[in-house]
Structure 1
């Protein structure tokens, strides 16, 4: 436990294939709600539990770079790209913990759907020793209520591990380096990378779905057109 509040550091991983306004809005609202010092966007190399991305590592990194440019709290973290191979959150968080020290407050940002599958992640129990979880959920989502998991919301194994970790206060995250779970009610825009790619493949506009510089980059590099 920390004797005084420490501004947390958010870790937001994903394939970002491509990054879109849904990602950016979640990151902005959680950064504001939890008082984050910074939000690190970590493009994944090869994801373990989903199909591989369609755009190359280099393209996905550059799209994120363009999308977050101008937001001083958003940082591009390329460690999974540099490391290569399959991306494991536990390795990324262990590296960050070693770099930033034992008292740093790390918060892994994930969606509710991904968190429900946490027990399938590589060395998932170790994550609670390395970070807090901030779960982005739609208003009214019943993953947790009053700082506790809602009955039947989680698989039994995960529910048992999480039982005493829920908190209803974002402020409490600042007093421990990890181990807590906070559900953030965010504005989840109905935008998906899959839908963006499909629109590009059909020659349809993705204006107002992705940032303008990212949209221009997709067009200039003829990304996602091979689906036609």
Structure 2
């Protein structure tokens, strides 16, 4: 039986977090509220197959993320992808999470990804299986606004999403997986790439990321020359 208020939702937020910044954190905070998530798990990637290798080693990125989410009881860390050798596949993590939670009749996973990653979904390993394991929650990124015109999507993705668009967040509580929801979140023009570039040139990245994270970066002299 499904509870009267529908499925409980768990957010899964993947990324390299190299470094984590206020853009990541604000999205996470708003999604907890917009989706009424019971919890949100950050899922740092070791080496995503379709992206360049992270600049900073995995254990340091985890340490920065821990500093960033310290004190927020609704956030937690999931390090499973860092324990796997080689490239990272999101579908493997979602399979494991689905199994770990068991065939819980009242729980649904919400996999959070940026619009830039979503449009490349057909390049992902076993990407169609994602719709069987979770809902996809898409957030806009600076320079990658979505989805006023779904015709901009690759044909294979457009076809599979045709009957899956959720107009409202409440729809995610009515079914265990398979929907796509474009979440209305604050679009902060902050990126990890921009922070690394600033710090490499000796410029300040203060107020783009938590002070605790910046202190950790400076202590270890990451991204060379930061303030």
Report the TM-score range of the alignment, normalised by the length of the smaller protein.
Answer: over 0.9
Change (3 A) 1:203 1:52: same
Residue 13 of structure 1 aligns to a residue whose secondary structure is strand
Report if the CA contact (8 A) 2:22-2:210 is conserved. yes
Residue aligning to 2:120: 117
Residue aligning to 1:190: 189
Aligned-residue RMSD, C-alpha: 1.9
Offset at residue 82 of structure 1 (A): 1.5
The 1-side partners of 2:90 and 2:146 are apart by 25
The 2-side partners of 1:138 and 1:114 are apart by 10
Offset at residue 7 of structure 1 (A): 2.1
Change (3 A) 1:61 1:177: same
Residue aligning to 1:147: none
Residue 217 of structure 1 aligns to a residue whose secondary structure is helix
**1:42-191 mapped onto 2 (5 Å cutoff):** 42-102=43-103, 103=105, 104-137=107-140, 141-144=145-148, 150-191=149-190
The 2-side partners of 1:138 and 1:52 are apart by 20
> Which blocks of at least 5 consecutive residues in structure 2 are unaligned?
none
Report if the CA contact (8 A) 2:150-2:158 is conserved. no
Report if the CA contact (8 A) 1:11-1:108 is conserved. yes
Report if the CA contact (8 A) 2:13-2:43 is conserved. yes
Offset at residue 41 of structure 1 (A): 0.5
Offset at residue 151 of structure 1 (A): 4.2
Q: For each residue in 1:2-59, what CA deviation from the matched residue of structure 2 results, as whole angstroms up to 9, or x when unmatched?
A: 4541220000000000000000011111111000011110110111001000000011
TM-score of the two chains, using structure 2 as the length reference? 0.93
Report if the CA contact (8 A) 2:115-2:146 is conserved. no
Report if the CA contact (8 A) 2:199-2:223 is conserved. yes
TM-score of the two chains, using structure 1 as the length reference? 0.92
> Which blocks of at least 5 consecutive residues in structure 1 are unaligned?
145-149
Offset at residue 137 of structure 1 (A): 2.4
Count of residues in correspondence between the two structures: 222
Residue 217 of structure 2 aligns to a residue whose secondary structure is helix
The 2-side partners of 1:138 and 1:75 are apart by 23
Query: Which is worse superposed, 217-226 or 45-54?
Result: 217-226
Report if the CA contact (8 A) 1:130-1:179 is conserved. yes
The 2-side partners of 1:212 and 1:159 are apart by 41
